[in-house]
Structure 1
Amino acid sequence: MDRREQGLFGKRNRLIADLTEQIHSGRLSKGDQLPGEHQLAQRYSVSRGTVRGALDELKRRRLIATEMGVGSFVAFDGVPLDQDLGWATALADSGFSISTELLGIERVTDASLTDRFGIQEFIAVRRLRREQGDGPVSLEHSLVPAQGALAELPERGLRGDSLTASLAEAGLRADMGEQWIDTAPLDEESAELLERAPGEVFLQSVRCSTMVNGRFVEHVTSLLDPQRFQFHLTFGNR
């Protein structure tokens, strides 16, 4: 790549980064129309070709959607979910009208987690998320240690109906972890809860989080409607 190409690539990336920041920060909200190509080209002192390349990348990331002959609009799918808040809060902050149905809280065992963390018993929390008017969007199965304040969750319930708040009350906050993402066909029970057909493919996220000292916090398996969720990974220096 020669210097001219590097310069054009750098301008395109700066335009992408600036518009992305505006969308993520909320300065450009869901449904807002972006300025036209000519306006963006003038504002950022770039060519319209550079603008088109930047908009194509934002569309690829599903940050915006384009209506032919009308323009480009911010799409809510591009708002990132802050998992530290918990799914319900993050979804609500991202423009969804979300309700959470608690399906059950019970004591269980899990041999693999016992081998890994030395914990003998866990509390399983199952929840279904619904978007108002559009039905279920996710089904989650969380395992947390049956220790300290969490040991009594089956009897007293979640603090403020929030597992994140219950973990915080017990002095547990995820500092690190690992996550696996793939697809999985819905079994009959999951399909009934999600109001879908058995065998329909959903995104499946499996996340195990710990504190910085290695203490176990949570293992959660989430089935996510692929029409509502996407995962965006980045790499390299930014």
Structure 2
Amino acid sequence: MTSQVFSKRELVVEKLANQIRRGEIVPGQRLDGEHRLAEEFDVSRGTIRQALGELQRRRLISIRSGIGSFVTFDGHALDQRLGWAQALAETGSNVTTRVLSIEAISGANIPELPDEVTLAEAIAVRRVRTTSGEDGSQMAVSFECSSVPAIGSLRDLPNQGLKDGSLWASLRAEGLIATNGQQSVDVHALDEREAAILGRPAGTSFLRTVRTSFNADGQFVEHVLSLLDPAHFTLKLTFGDEA
């Protein structure tokens, strides 16, 4: 029987990949720098760089070079891997979520879905979030349309509703845990439909984010288009190299 021989790069890739899958390296955890990893594995920094590139290709890590971004609510950073509701709750903010609709849709009808995601059918969950003003009135601060794969228990969401009222909990129950992805941000003028949902005049400028997430194995988890009130939500940037 012929034994398989792995290159140094492959050995580094497999060891780190196994640590990620076993949860020894958790989502969001920063890896050691190239120099430290090269010492640990007794290989060159070039080998480490190649290994990290392969892990990124497998969507097991995300390499941010030069700049990163995150969204805050009233100055509090939001961990969007937890979903908007949980992330907002952790800031201590008094934000209420109302589900507008949950329905099955064709993947072809999902706006701005990346070409790399092939999806015949999806479940769309539309929500609006409100916060209380000083006079006790409710003001809408965001509108989100989340699209998730129509698989397993998620296929029943239009009839059963969200698990514990949370899309994040529903995804987790199906074994879909986002670990990486991509996000774009721009300024968007509300159209008539969006303005009616948010209770604002048409043409009002909102922050718009489009986020697509995947799990550690590269499986599609969620595509979210969010409209955020810039009076509460802010995009912040960080600089530096991080893996």
| Superposition TM-score tier, normalisation by shorter sequence | 0.5 to 0.7
- What secondary structure sits across from 1:221 in the alignment? strand
Contact kept, 8 Å, 1:113 with 1:119, in 2: the verdict is no
Q: 1:77 is aligned with what amino acid? A: D
**Structure 1 partner of 2:170:** 166
Correspondent of 2:87 among 60, 76, 90:
90
Q: 1:230 is aligned with what amino acid? A: T
Percent same amino acid at aligned positions?
Answer: 49
- Unaligned runs of 5+ residues in structure 2 are 1-71
Alpha-carbon deviation of 1:145? Answer: 0.1
Distance 2:114 2:161 in 1: 24
Alpha-carbon deviation of 1:149? Answer: 1.2
Distance 1:212 1:189 in 2: 36
Number of residues of Structure 1 aligned to a counterpart in Structure 2 = 164
Distance 1:180 1:124 in 2: 20
Correspondent of 1:230 among 230, 234, 238:
234
Contact kept, 8 Å, 1:181 with 1:204, in 2: the verdict is yes
**Structure 1 partner of 2:126:** 126
Correspondent of 1:146 among 144, 150, 158:
150
Distance 1:114 1:186 in 2: 23
What root-mean-square deviation, in Å, do the aligned CA atoms of Structure 1 and Structure 2 show? 1.9
Alpha-carbon deviation of 1:92? Answer: 2.4
Contact kept, 8 Å, 1:114 with 1:120, in 2: the verdict is no
Q: 1:189 is aligned with what amino acid? A: R
Q: Describe the shift of the 1:77–1:121 C-alpha distance in structure 2 as closer, same or farther (beyond 3 A).
A: same
Contact kept, 8 Å, 2:81 with 2:179, in 1: the verdict is no
Q: Which has the larger radius of gyration?
A: 1
- What secondary structure sits across from 2:211 in the alignment? strand
Between 1 and 2, higher relative CO (CA 8 Å, sep ≥ 6) is seen in 2
- What secondary structure sits across from 1:102 in the alignment? strand
After superposition, the C-alpha distances for 1:162-219 in whole angstroms (9 at most, x for unaligned) are 0000000010011110000001110111101111000111000000001122110000
Alpha-carbon deviation of 1:119? Answer: 2.3
Are 1:81 and 2:78 counterparts? yes
Contact kept, 8 Å, 1:123 with 1:143, in 2: the verdict is yes
Alpha-carbon deviation of 1:77? Answer: 2.4
Q: Compare the two structures and name the one with the higher strand fraction.
A: 2
TM-score, normalization by structure 1: 0.65
After superposition, the C-alpha distances for 1:134-172 in whole angstroms (9 at most, x for unaligned) are 510000000000011111111101000100000000100
Distance 1:236 1:146 in 2: 38
Distance 2:114 2:189 in 1: 27
**Structure 1 partner of 2:104:** 107
Q: Compare the two structures and name the one with the higher helix fraction.
A: 1
After TM superposition, the structure 1 stretch with the greater mean CA deviation from structure 2, 107-116 or 185-194, is 107-116
Q: Stretches of 4+ moved more than 6 A in 1?
A: none
Alignment of 1:1-238 (within 5 A): 77-111=74-108, 113=113, 116-133=116-133, 134-237=138-241
- What secondary structure sits across from 2:77 in the alignment? coil
Alpha-carbon deviation of 1:113? Answer: 4.5
Q: Describe the shift of the 1:205–1:115 C-alpha distance in structure 2 as closer, same or farther (beyond 3 A).
A: closer
TM-score, normalization by structure 2: 0.64
Alpha-carbon deviation of 1:81? Answer: 1.1
